[in-house]
Amino acid sequence: MFYSASYCSPLGKITLASQQNQLVGLWIDGQKYFGAIVTADIIEKANLPVFNLTKKWLDNYFAGKNQTINQLPLAPNGSPFRQKVWDILCNIPYGEVITYGDIAKQIALQTNQPNMSSQAVGGAVGHNPISIIIPCHRVIGANGNLTGYAGGIDKKIKLLQIEGVDTRNFVLPKKGTAL
């Protein structure tokens, strides 16, 4: 059984999903892959402890406070490869960015491979079911390209600005899936 709750944020409505007292989903309305991990009936139950804890975390985050991820019971569902990528995302410091290529190099080292596809990493980053908290918005393309945020580039920029990142030197894509 899945449970859901809504949260009003500066980015618009956010839907939270839980299963077995763990957060399994967080999606901004209109986000690509919205609710993709929900495989059973979902019942709205706004006052579950996991939702109250997550809403407090989000309140602090949107107020510009650096929040740690380990204070939340997260349970993102995905393949072992996606889990490796999401683990790396969880370790990107607040207010900093890394590239898809940086993550690909880390995965290649972890798996003892000569290299790893940045595009494969991008797919895993894009399918992150707990956006914002698992900070996929902190991943940028090569040369400062702002690509690949399932919630939309405008929201990615806003999240980075909340964290104090100077986004003026980043490059907005002219075409592609990130728009």
- Among 132, 136, 139, 146, which one carries the catalytic annotation? 136
Q: Rounded to an integer, what distance in angstroms lies between the CA atom of residue 94 and that of residue 83?
A: 20
Buried b (16+ CB within 10 A) or exposed e, 70-82: eebebbbeeeeeb
Q: Rounded to an integer, what distance in angstroms lies between the CA atom of residue 69 and that of residue 9?
A: 18
58 secondary structure, DSSP code:
H
Q: Is 136 a catalytic residue?
A: yes
CA 112 to chain centre: 26
Q: Which residues are known to be catalytic?
A: 136
